[in-house]
Amino acid sequence: MDRVRNTLRPQIEALEDRLALSAVVASFNDNGLYRFADATGWQQLTTFTPEAYAVNTAGDVVASFEGAGLYRFTNAAGWQQVAPFAPSQVGIADDGTIVGDFNGAGLWRIGAAGTQQLTMFDPRQIAVASNGDLAASFDGAGLWRMVAAGGWQQIAPITPDRIDINALGSVVASFNNVGLYRFEDATGWQQLSPFTPNGTIGIDDTNRVAARYQNIGLYLYSDAAGWQQLSTFTPQRSDISSDGTVFANFNGAGLYRLSPGGAFQQLSPLTADAFAPNGGADSNQVDNNNDNNNNDENNNND
């Protein structure tokens, strides 16, 4: 990571000056679920705080409520129950297709084509791309993906700590004490860094990768520029949306985003309990990945 550019500039810009079109959902102080979009600003969608949630580019939200089941929110229809059972991990594609891990019952997909069990095994972690491509890691069984062109394909025999997938079918994965890697169909696996990131990693639909490293900041990797330091401060949590917007939650400083080619913008002065951008990880990833290397997601006070 020898290519360093701009550091955190926590100014607040007017809503009309924000160029990003991405959506993000977040929970604050266990006080329900909120969604931010440029057209509307913050909206409280429910006073109940879900166990896990995710959002797509259109702003459709999927949320899992313990004891109440799985629900989907759309602007047109509001909240609708999708399943009476509450999955531990969720994802939603841009066409509204939902993927959920129902503990003890395996991984399921719910969409226009109906409901389908993808595997009877519970994954350690799932990642859903904007086009519905899916990656899943399984303890003792490695890393797998399912793309539109076919069924399950094992792409690594080793189970990674963290994963994400984009609409190109490219997968990014971090492996404890081995580093950060990206898989593409054309090139196979490529090591992006010998250092293992802390917490959530993400990949956008142009193969750019966002990762944070404790005590040295927030970084973005692209093939054209290599590693760029986005902030010298290490966020409590970070992720990247499918359109390339980087989101960062700084303890005591609030929730920020960095649009491609832009500057950091504060979306909220409150530090979110959790958040999920469109095409990014669901809000509950850390609870499903309590490996020693990455369990500082909620404890990083840099």
In the prediction, which pLDDT does 14 show?
31
- Specify the long-range contacts of residues 212-218, CB closer than 8 Å, at least 24 apart: 212/238, 212/248, 213/1, 214/296, 214/300, 214/302, 215/302, 216/1, 217/7, 218/8, 218/246, 218/248
Q: Alpha-carbon distance 262 to 38, whole Å? A: 15
In the prediction, which pLDDT does 283 show?
83
In the prediction, which pLDDT does 285 show?
66
| Contact assessment for residue 263 and residue 230, using Cβ atoms and an 8 Å cutoff | no
In the prediction, which pLDDT does 281 show?
85
Distances (CA, A) of 217 to 33, 173, 197, 272, 273: 28, 19, 10, 19, 20
For domain 15-288, give its CATH number from 2.130.10.10, 2.30.30.30, 1.10.3470.10, 3.40.50.10860: 2.130.10.10
In the prediction, which pLDDT does 21 show?
61
Q: Alpha-carbon distance 8 to 55, whole Å? A: 26
Task: Please indicate, yes or no, whether the overall pTM of this predicted structure exceeds 0.95.
Answer: no
| Contact assessment for residue 259 and residue 19, using Cβ atoms and an 8 Å cutoff | yes
Q: What is the pLDDT along the chain (302 residues), one digit of tens a residue?
A: 333 223 332 332 333 333 346 799 999 999 999 999 988 899 999 999 999 999 999 999 999 999 999 999 999 999 999 999 999 999 999 999 999 999 999 999 999 989 999 999 999 999 999 999 999 999 999 999 999 878 999 999 999 999 999 999 999 999 999 999 999 999 999 999 999 999 899 999 999 999 999 999 999 999 999 999 999 999 999 999 999 999 999 999 999 999 888 899 999 999 999 999 999 888 876 433 333 344 444 444 44
Q: Quote the strand ranges of 58-207, DSSP E.
A: 61-65, 69-74, 78-83, 89-92, 98-102, 106-111, 114-119, 125-128, 134-138, 142-146, 152-156, 162-165, 171-175, 179-184, 188-193, 202-203
Which of 125, 72, 126, 63 lies closest to 96, judged by CA?
Answer: 72
In the prediction, which pLDDT does 42 show?
96
Which of 205, 208, 264, 245 lies closest to 20, judged by CA?
Answer: 245
Q: Alpha-carbon distance 180 to 195, whole Å? A: 7
